[in-house]
Amino acid sequence: MITNPLLKPFDIAPFSKITSDHFLPAIKNGIAIAKQEVNTITSNNEPPTFSNTIEALDYSGELLDRITSVFFNLNSAETTDEIQKIAQEVSPLLSEFSNDIALNLDLFKRIEVVYQQRESLMLTPEQFRLVEKRYRSFSRNGANLPEKEKEKLRKIDTELSTLSLKFGENILAETNKFEMLLTNESDLTGLPEGAKEAAKAMAKAKNKEGWLITLDYPSYIPFITYADNRELRKKISLAFGAKGFHDNDLDNQEIVLKIANLRHQRALLLGYSSHADYILEERMAETPDRVFSFLNEILEKAKPAAEKEFKELEAFAKELDGIDRLQKWDGAYYSEKLKQKRFDLDDEKLKPYFKLENVINGVFTIATKLFGLQFEEIDTVDKYHAEVKTYRVTNLENNFVSLFYADFHPRSGKRNGAWMTSYKSQMIKSDKNIRPHVSIVCNFTKPTPSKPSLLTFNEVTTLFHEFGHALHGMLANTTYPSLSGTNVYWDFVELPSQVLENWCYEKEALELFAKHYETEEIIPMELVKKIKESSTFMEGMATLRQLSFGLLDMAWHSKDPSTIKNVKEYEEKVFSTTSLYPNVKENCMSTAFSHIFQGGYSAGYYSYKWAEVLDADAFEYFKENGIFNPEIAAKFKEHVLAKGGTENPMILYKRFRGQEPKPEALLKRAGLIK
């Protein structure tokens, strides 16, 4: 154990010293230490107090948190067969440990004593919030259940943790398995030079002749958007939409049904009508009914616009290529063509202005102007891969704020998409403000032999989005780790990320970083105007798509799923109110819906739209006063970014904005109302 780098005190994750063999013993040891810390709390003969019970519990398990953050982040960003195998082994152990804590009656009794006295304890708002959060988390996780029911809960939780891991592994394997090798250059007609070059480089890296197209976003998206060959677009679209839906050993249909049913059983066991009722009790939205009415209200405004846009797109495809019925593999292609015709704007015109390094500097400059942060790239920090960049973040007085990791390009051991995570939580302990270690992981277009990494505009907004999450982690300034940074209600967590995307559309912000990678020329204002004008292009269809995902999520989680026998048939029924394209029998969304079956978005996918209402309303406030207004930025930092989950999010939002958010700003921005 003494030689295990994960069990020695470490500040920065010691990636270069860790081997896969270290994880299992380290996690087992971390669990044993955390159990001992909890045992110290429960065996204390002193009467329960905030300090010896609630606070002690929040600071417990720190070593285990550090070890598991390293392990699970690697499992997402740099996994191997070995790591995946260990994940299958440790997930049930962690689930069991989590249940040991949640179902510990002695611990709950002590928490209950403090909870009953909370009004008379002279607690700070943050301490009061922590007492309520702790008490609720125990009662919500079965602390009041009889022993027999607790045992059922343990079994369900263990099975759920294993199933969601398996779900994710299947999707990664499906993504990595598909390769479309093209040996005839005419099959690449329409594809931008950069995408062709990347496909060539990918084939070469795998010792193949020709051009290799995969299901990784930087390969898939350009192909489905630009390739003239409709049959090949269809081939890759079918492959992309059929992940986890192949009746083979990577099939997720059975897993989806099991997860949905186990979640429902768990909710009933805990006294809730459904998994959605259970989840939403701790969300701004509060109830399934409120979520449905929120989604349907926007659907009512978006659907007529979406149907009108779809007809326009279909007419355009018919006029251009004689296509009678638009299919899913045609959508991105003809949308791009129509956008080019209407705005004379395409990603290839924009990409030269969005060199990755410039965009990084741009987002840093914006963070400096808004929040007084400084970023210095350093090479003294251990990394899990050579491509990872590391930065020391300080404030204007040069005080250390955070360590920041950024990992930008796809690799075979890295799951698709983009996310923010952390390796060390912020907290104040023994009068010391312990600063966080924050990371963002993306899958952006790689540099090629002749070009640097040039981002599509969509990738630019993705970088800003994840960096918004990172700021939420970096600027955290709370006492207790469980209330710090992004530990907020799930439908509030997307506000910092989504609000930051707005700066990508503003002339004042673009001028800071959108420079041609060869000539250094600042992006022409005519292009900025077109970006702005085109930002609502096909917004009705885009909104309908997001709403369909939110409604599918709620359909799986707001009612009893035990009668559902066929995943695909059920999904089709749910999509009937939002679908525009003909159904594709070979494809299924649910079997690859990682957000809800692997990530933490179950009964929470609506929160993207919910947070859009918040972000549009918040940005309206900035625009009224200037997008770099120091007073508004200071209020956002103080009441939103720094406060984490220390108070109810609506209270924090109103403190920043002076009022509750109104949906009008979003509907106006989306062009859905005048």
Write the CB contacts of 289 (distance below 8 Å, at least 6 apart in sequence): none
Alpha-carbon distance of 670 to 547, in angstroms, equals 14
Q: 3-class DSSP state for residue 580?
A: coil
What the block records as the tokens of 166 is: 């398996």
Q: Which residues pair with 211 in a beta bridge?
A: 182
Mean pLDDT of 29-48: 97
- Contact call for residues 115 and 144 (beta carbons, < 8 A): no
Give the pLDDT score at 141.
Answer: 87
Give the H or E element holding residue 653: helix 649-657
One of 3.60.15.10, 3.40.50.280, 3.50.50.60, 3.40.390.10 is the CATH number of 352-494, namely 3.40.390.10
For residue 1, is pLDDT > 70?
Answer: no
Q: What are phi and psi of 75, to 5 degrees?
A: -65, -25
Three-point CA angle 65, 598, 652, nearest 5°: 65
Tally of CA atoms within 13 A in the half-sphere of 366 that contains its CB: 27
- Contact call for residues 447 and 441 (beta carbons, < 8 A): no
First-to-last C-alpha distance (Å) of the chain: 65
- Contact call for residues 440 and 466 (beta carbons, < 8 A): yes
Look at strands 211-214 and 373-377 and give their pairing. unpaired
The whole-model pTM stands at 0.84
Closest among 353, 619, 365 to 467, alpha carbons compared: 365
15-144 sits in which CATH class?
mainly alpha
Mean pLDDT of 566-588: 97
Alpha-carbon distance of 294 to 150, in angstroms, equals 35
Q: How confident is the model at residue 645 (pLDDT cuts 50, 70, 90)?
A: very high
Q: Which residue in the list 55, 459, 466, 494 is annotated as catalytic?
A: 466
Q: Name all contacts of 104-107 with Cβ < 8 Å and 24+ positions apart.
A: 104/38, 104/42, 104/143, 105/143, 106/42, 107/38, 107/41, 107/42, 107/57, 107/138
- Contact call for residues 63 and 33 (beta carbons, < 8 A): yes
Three-point CA angle 490, 496, 501, nearest 5°: 120
What's the alpha-carbon Rg for the chain, to the nearest Å?
25
Q: How far is CA 313 from the centre of its chain?
A: 30
Closest among 285, 279, 269 to 601, alpha carbons compared: 279
Q: How confident is the model at residue 50 (pLDDT cuts 50, 70, 90)?
A: very high
Write the CB contacts of 658 (distance below 8 Å, at least 6 apart in sequence): none
Other CB atoms within 10 A of residue 319 CB: 9
- Contact call for residues 575 and 588 (beta carbons, < 8 A): no
Q: How confident is the model at residue 532 (pLDDT cuts 50, 70, 90)?
A: confident
Q: What ranges do the domains of the chain cover?
A: 15-144, 178-241, 257-343+539-600, 352-494
One-letter amino acid for residue 446 of the chain? K
- Contact call for residues 490 and 283 (beta carbons, < 8 A): yes
Burial class, 624, CB count within 10 angstroms (exposed 0-12 / middle 13-18 / buried 19+)? exposed
- Contact call for residues 578 and 299 (beta carbons, < 8 A): yes
Closest among 280, 299, 300 to 289, alpha carbons compared: 280
For residue 674, is pLDDT > 80?
Answer: no
Mean of the per-residue pLDDT values for the chain?
A: 95
One-letter amino acid for residue 169 of the chain? E
Q: Which residues pair with 390 in a beta bridge?
A: 405
Alpha-carbon distance of 349 to 35, in angstroms, equals 58
Q: What are phi and psi of 441, to 5 degrees?
A: -130, 130
Q: What are phi and psi of 571, to 5 degrees?
A: -60, -45
- Helix ranges (H only) for 506-538 are 507-513, 525-534
Distances (CA, A) of 148 to 48, 130, 145, 152, 269: 27, 29, 8, 7, 11
| Annotated catalytic residue 197 | no
Closest among 228, 227, 225, 195 to 212, alpha carbons compared: 195
Three-point CA angle 250, 252, 253, nearest 5°: 135
pLDDT per position as a tens digit, 194-233: 899 999 999 999 999 999 999 998 899 999 999 999 999 9
Q: What are phi and psi of 214, to 5 degrees?
A: -125, 180
Give the pLDDT score at 610.
Answer: 92
Give the pLDDT score at 669.
Answer: 87
Task: Supply the DSSP symbol for 640.
Answer: I
Q: How far is CA 325 from the centre of its chain?
A: 34
pLDDT per position as a tens digit, 422-479: 999 999 999 999 999 999 999 998 898 889 999 999 999 999 999 999 999 999 999 9
Alpha-carbon distance of 124 to 236, in angstroms, equals 56
Alpha-carbon distance of 300 to 578, in angstroms, equals 11
Q: Which CATH architecture has domain 257-343+539-600?
A: Orthogonal Bundle (1.10)
Please name the residue that has the structure tokens 């093209």: 182
What the block records as the tokens of 316 is: 């355009």
Other CB atoms within 10 A of residue 40 CB: 12
Mean pLDDT of 301-312: 95
Three-point CA angle 417, 420, 425, nearest 5°: 155
Alpha-carbon distance of 178 to 176, in angstroms, equals 6
Alpha-carbon distance of 34 to 54, in angstroms, equals 15
Q: Which residues pair with 64 in a beta bridge?
A: none
For residue 2, is pLDDT > 90?
Answer: no
- Contact call for residues 33 and 73 (beta carbons, < 8 A): no
pLDDT per position as a tens digit, 267-287: 999 999 999 999 999 999 999
Task: Supply the DSSP symbol for 8.
Answer: S
Q: What are phi and psi of 521, to 5 degrees?
A: -70, 135
Please name the residue that has the structure tokens 């200037």: 626
- Contact call for residues 627 and 508 (beta carbons, < 8 A): yes
Alpha-carbon distance of 632 to 638, in angstroms, equals 10
pLDDT per position as a tens digit, 78-108: 999 999 999 999 999 999 999 899 889 999 9
For residue 152, is pLDDT > 70?
Answer: yes
Distances (CA, A) of 286 to 39, 171, 264, 478: 34, 31, 18, 25
Q: How confident is the model at residue 672 (pLDDT cuts 50, 70, 90)?
A: confident
